[in-house]
Amino acid sequence: MFDQPRSPLRLLLLVGTLLFGSSGCDLIKEKLGLEEPVAKAARLTAEGQAVGGGCRQSGRAIEDCYSIYSWLPKAAIYEGWRDMDSYMRENKLATVEPQLPPPQPPGARKKRRPPPTDEAGDTATAAERDRADAEPMAAKPAGSTH
């Protein structure tokens, strides 16, 4: 199929292209879990500071922030909380009450919604509801006006 001298060259070019193409792509590395430890620590620290500042501005206790955002470093959360606290005191800003519940940590399962029910309290699938909606239309004669 391939002649012998060209086969190793093609393999070398293919491997070289794949390695070169994926070496600079940070998104691919992050998705594969190949993020550098220094870059990951810097990212988590910045996120922790932002979360800490947001928690202070919303009037949330620092302990609540620690428990809600348990995957972020506590030192970074505290630093952001402390910075926002001093900023709010200097500028005499009031806290802003949060409108949404706190987010779930990564890996936590979302609550499933109960299946929709009809008036009788029976559970009905979407196909059954569609079929029930279509039957009254089919029962009418084509020439009927009312």
Grouping H, G, I as helix, E, B as strand and the rest as coil, residue 36 is: coil
User: In angstroms, what CA-CA distances link 106 with 39, 94, 110, 134?
Assistant: 20, 30, 10, 42
Chain segment 1-32, per-residue pLDDT in tens: 555 556 778 888 888 777 766 666 667 776 77
Confidence of residue 54 (pLDDT cuts 50, 70, 90): very high
Chain segment 62-109, per-residue pLDDT in tens: 898 998 899 999 999 999 999 999 999 999 988 888 777 767 766 666
Element containing residue 84 per DSSP (H, E)? helix 74-90
**Within 13 Å, how many C-alpha atoms sit on residue 122's CB side?**
6
Indicate whether 42 pLDDT > 90. Answer: yes
Distance spanning both ends of the chain, measured CA to CA: 74
Q: Which residues contact 22 (CB under 8 A, 6 or more apart)?
A: 28, 29
